[in-house]
A and B are shown apart, each in its own frame.
Chain A
């Protein structure tokens, strides 16, 4: 079966760095997406990785290792507004997104 695993909840301090991991097992691979979802709102796109390596976008970076079925989202210089759920999703061989349950990130002052 297809499976996406990510931690349920993480806590970090304002100004610090946090890494959110995602491991996956899917039927085929056409890229991995990270989305941010604030409570009561819709998911919004953060990053897309299809090749191995690190993609940097401002305070956010995303890493992919296809051979290990592994990705992480790195958030630097954490701000209170980064408190949200972070969703990992893999596009399978049918181009459908398989979603993890999300990691709730709590930022403390």
Chain B
């Protein structure tokens, strides 16, 4: 079982360019999440989706957008990248939004120059 996959593994991006980080899960989980992890800080929620067709803003949503057209896929788009978006991005999923453990993908390391 693959669980959650993310692509790409890493990327160097020029400032001002757009990019979509891909996330796919095969566990039929209802809820999905995008986090960023920066040194010295806890994971910070960017956007989430409690079920297919719905999305919500997390703690740090500015500069990012998401869509949830189906249960399995939850892409994250940076419309115009800035250096402060350099980070490690983790996608996660859980069976339900409430009181369920989250399963994480392997992460995407993004550098914006």
Give A45 to B48 CA distance when docked, in angstroms: 19
Of the four ranges (under 10, 10 to 19, 20 to 34, 35 or more), the interface on chain A belongs to: 20 to 34
Closest to B45 in A: A96
Closest to B44 in A: A99
Closest to B58 in A: A96
B103 within 8 A of A: yes
Q: How far is the CB of B77 from chain A (nearest CB, A)?
A: 21
Q: How far is the CB of A50 from chain B (nearest CB, A)?
A: 7
A7 within 8 A of B: no
In the assembled complex, which residues on chain A have CB atoms less than 8 Å from the CB atom of B42?
4, 87, 89, 98-102
B12 within 8 A of A: no
- With A42-B90, A96-B45 already in contact, the answer to whether A33 and B101 are too (CB < 8 A) is yes
Of the residues B97, B99, B101, B105, contact of A45 by C-beta under 8 Å: B101
Check A44–B104 contact: CB distance below 8 A: yes
Check B103–A31 contact: CB distance below 8 A: no
Using a CB-CB cutoff of 8 Å, which residues 81-109 of chain B contact chain A?
Answer: 90, 97-99, 101-107
In the assembled complex, which residues on chain A have CB atoms less than 8 Å from the CB atom of B99?
30-31, 48, 50, 91, 95
Closest to B39 in A: A101
Check B43–A87 contact: CB distance below 8 A: yes
In the assembled complex, which residues on chain A have CB atoms less than 8 Å from the CB atom of B104?
42-44
Task: Give per-residue flags for A89-109: 1 if the beta carbon is below 8 A from chain B beta carbons, else 0.
Answer: 101000111111110000000
Interface residues of B (CB under 8 A from A): 40-45, 48, 58-59, 90, 97-99, 101-107
Q: Which 8 A-B pairs have the closest CB atoms?
A: A99-B42, A42-B104, A99-B43, A45-B101, A95-B97, A101-B42, A95-B98, A100-B42
> What are 17 A-B residue pairs whose CB atoms fall within 8 Å in the complex?
A4-B42, A30-B98, A30-B99, A41-B107, A42-B90, A42-B104, A42-B105, A48-B101, A89-B43, A96-B58, A96-B59, A97-B43, A97-B45, A99-B43, A101-B40, A101-B41, A102-B42
Extra A-B contacts (5), CB below 8 Å, given A30-B98, A43-B90, A45-B101? A42-B90, A45-B103, A89-B42, A95-B98, A99-B43
